[in-house]
Structure 1
Amino acid sequence: MNTDSLWHLLSTQGADFGLKVLAALAAWIVGRWLIALGLKLFSSALKRGAKVDATLAHYLRAILRVALNIGLVLAILDIFGVKTTSFAALLAGAGLAVGTAWGGMLTHFAAGVFMQLQRPFKVGDYVTAGSVTGWVREIGLFNTTLVTLENVRTIVGNNAIVNGVIQNYSALPYRRVDTAVRLANGVDPLEAIARLRGPIAAIANVVAEPVPEIEILAITLEGPQLTVRPYCHNDHYWQVYFDTYKTIVATFAAAGYPLPETPIAPRERFAPYGLGLRS
C-alpha cells in the first residue's frame, strides 16, 4: 500500500473508525458503571426482600456479573459492526478448541451448581473440603475460598470438593473434643477419673449434654491410659481442647500424682503427665 492509498483510507474511513473507538470506550466505561450499580442493587434486593442467605446470594451475583459483562462485550462488538450472529458463528467455528481449553472450568462450574443445590456447607462454616480444612469465605462459580487455621487463604476447585470427602464441623450443635493422658503405674485410674469429672465439666463452654466422657482407654506396661472427651460448640473447640489439658495437669498436680515413665507419643506431646496433643 503506497502513501496515497494509505492517506485516502485514513481520510475516508479514519474519522469513522475513530468515532467508533470513542463510542466503544464510552460504552465500556458507562457499561461497567451500570453493571456495578446493578449488582449493588441486586445484592441489596436479595438481602432486604428475598432474604436469600449469603452463600446463594454471592453465587447468583457472580452469575449475573458474568452475564452482564458478556452482554456489554457483545454491545461493544456491535459498535464495530460485528453482529451477534457473526460472533456466535465465530465461536461455533472455534468450538472444539474452546471446549478443550475450558473443559476443566466447565466441570468446576457444574460442581458449583451441584453444591448450590445440595448445600453441603455455607459461607462461615468450618469444614474439610478438597483436603483443606478451614472456614468457608466464598463459594464462587468455579472455586471455593477457605481460610485455614494458619490464616492462609486457600482456593479449591469446586470439582475437587464435590469428588472428595466433605466434613462440616459447623452443621451440628456440638462436637466432641478428644484428648488422652497416661497415668504412672501405681495410680488408681478410677480415682483419677473421679477427680477429673467435676473440673472437666466446669470448663468454660463445655456443654452439659452429652456429659463429658472420661474412661480407661487402654492398660499398658507403662501405665493405664485415659481418654477425656468433653463436648462443645465448634466455635469453642480449640479453647476447650487446650483448657482440657490445663485442667488435667492442674488436677493431677493437686492430687500429687507422679509423672509417667513413658508418656504418650503422638505427633506432638506435652511432657507433664504424658499429655498427647492430637489435631
Structure 2
Amino acid sequence: MEQMENYRQLAVTYATDIGLKILGAIVFWIVGRWLISFAVRLLQQAMSRQKVDPTLMRYVGSFLAVTLNIVLVVAILGYFGVQTTTFAALVAGIGIAIGAAWGGLLGNLAAGIFLVVLRPFKVGDFISAAGIVGTVKEIGLFATAIDTPDNVLTMVGNGKIFSDTIQNFSANAYRRVELKCQLAGSADHVAAMALLREKLAEVPNVLAEPAPEVEILDFNLVGPVLAVRPFCHNNHYWQVYFDGNRVIREALAAAGFPAPMPAQAVIVQQASN
C-alpha cells in the first residue's frame, strides 16, 4: 500500500508539473502573440510616418511576423525541454526539401522582394509585363494582381514578371497616342497636316507641350498616310485616342478634303485585225 501511495504521489507530482508547464506555455503563447502583433503594428506605424510604400510595409510586416512566430515556437519548445538545436536542424532540412520541391514558388518569392526593392512599378501603375497589360492592384508575396482594361483580375507570378520585359506607362508624365490618317492622292497634304495640328490641339486633355505631331508616315496606292501623334497623360490615353480619330474624320470632311478611295488605272488595248 505504501508503494502504491508513492506511485500516486509521483503521478500527481508529474501531472502537476506537466499541467503547470502546459499552462505556462499557453500563457507564453498568448503573451508572445500579443507582443508580436504589437511589434508589427509599431513597425508599420513608424514606416507609415516615414511615408514608406504600402506594399513594402506589408512585406516587412509579414516577414517580421513569420520570423517572430518561429522564434516564439522555438522558445516554447525549449521551455518544454526539447532540444532546439535538433529542431532547428529539422526545420533546415524541411526547408531544403521544400525548396527543392517548390523551387518555382521560392523563385516567385525572391522575385517579389526584388520588385518591391527595385520598384519598377507600384500599386496603381498601368503596366505591360509577362504579356499582360493592365493596372497593378497588388504586389503579393508570390504573385502580382493586375486588372486588365476589360476589367479581368489576372494573377501573374512574380518570377515571370521579373524575368520578362516590363513597360510602365505611368512612370513618365505623358505618353504619345499613335493614330494614322489616310489621305487621297489628290489631297493637299500640307493643308491637311496643318488642319489636323490645329484641331488636335483643341481636343480635351491633349498637351500643348509637346505639341501634336502630324507628318507623312508612308505611301500606298490610295495616297499618303499621315502619322497623327498627340500627347497626353496615361489616364487620358483612350479618351484622346477615340477623340483624335473622330477629329480626323470630321475635320477633313468639313474642310472638303476628298475621301480616300482605292483606284486603279485600266488600260484597254484593242487587238488589230
TM-score by structure 2 length? Answer: 0.77
Task: Tell me the residue number matched to 1:4.
Answer: none
Alignment partners' CA distance in 2, 1:28 and 1:41:
20
Matched, 1:184 2:184: yes
Contact in 2 for aligned 1:62/1:140 (Cα 8 Å): no
Task: Tell me the residue number matched to 1:148.
Answer: 148
Letter in 2 for 1:99: G
Task: Tell me the residue number matched to 1:91.
Answer: 91
Cα deviation, residue 137, structure 1? 2.3
Task: Tell me the residue number matched to 1:56.
Answer: 56
Give per-residue Cα distances to partners, 1:191-231, cap 9 Å, x unaligned.
Answer: 22122111101111111111111112122112322221001
User: Per the alignment, in what secondary structure is the counterpart of residue 66 of structure 1?
Assistant: helix
Cα deviation, residue 167, structure 1? 0.8
Alignment partners' CA distance in 2, 1:183 and 1:79:
85
Cα deviation, residue 164, structure 1? 0.8
Matched, 1:200 2:200: yes
Task: Tell me the residue number matched to 1:169.
Answer: 169
Letter in 1 for 2:89: A
Task: Tell me the residue number matched to 2:232.
Answer: 232
Give per-residue Cα distances to partners, 1:227-262, cap 9 Å, x unaligned.
Answer: 210011112111111111122222123224454336
**Gaps in structure 1 of 5+ consecutive residues:** 1-7, 263-279
Task: Tell me the residue number matched to 2:47.
Answer: 46
Alignment partners' CA distance in 1, 2:175 and 2:37:
42
Aligned ranges 1:1-279 → 2 under 5 Å? 35-48=36-49, 50-74=50-74, 77=77, 82-94=82-94, 96-261=96-261
Higher Cα radius of gyration: 2
- 1:129–1:34 Cα change, 3 Å: farther
- 1:244–1:22 Cα change, 3 Å: farther
Cα deviation, residue 150, structure 1? 1.8
- 1:194–1:142 Cα change, 3 Å: same
Contact in 1 for aligned 2:186/2:258 (Cα 8 Å): no
Give per-residue Cα distances to partners, 1:77-110, cap 9 Å, x unaligned.
Answer: 5576644323212234445422312322222222
- 1:219–1:57 Cα change, 3 Å: same
User: Per the alignment, in what secondary structure is the counterpart of residue 57 of structure 1?
Assistant: helix
Letter in 1 for 2:47: L
- 1:161–1:98 Cα change, 3 Å: same
Contact in 2 for aligned 1:143/1:156 (Cα 8 Å): yes
Task: Tell me the residue number matched to 1:277.
Answer: none
User: Per the alignment, in what secondary structure is the counterpart of residue 242 of structure 1?
Assistant: helix
Give per-residue Cα distances to partners, 1:30-57, cap 9 Å, x unaligned.
Answer: 6656545543443222111x22223322
Task: Tell me the residue number matched to 1:270.
Answer: none
Letter in 2 for 1:213: E
Letter in 2 for 1:232: C
Alignment partners' CA distance in 2, 1:22 and 1:130:
52
Alignment partners' CA distance in 2, 1:16 and 1:155:
51
Contact in 2 for aligned 1:126/1:133 (Cα 8 Å): yes
Letter in 2 for 1:61: G
Alignment partners' CA distance in 1, 2:130 and 2:75:
39
Alignment partners' CA distance in 2, 1:218 and 1:251:
21
Contact in 1 for aligned 2:179/2:241 (Cα 8 Å): yes
Which deviates further from its counterpart, 196-205 or 98-107? 98-107
- 1:79–1:235 Cα change, 3 Å: farther
Tell me how many residue pairs correspond in the alignment. 252
Letter in 1 for 2:229: R
Provide the alpha-carbon RMSD of the alignment. Answer: 3.1
**Gaps in structure 2 of 5+ consecutive residues:** 1-7, 263-273
Give per-residue Cα distances to partners, 1:152-184, cap 9 Å, x unaligned.
Answer: 222222221221101111111110000112123
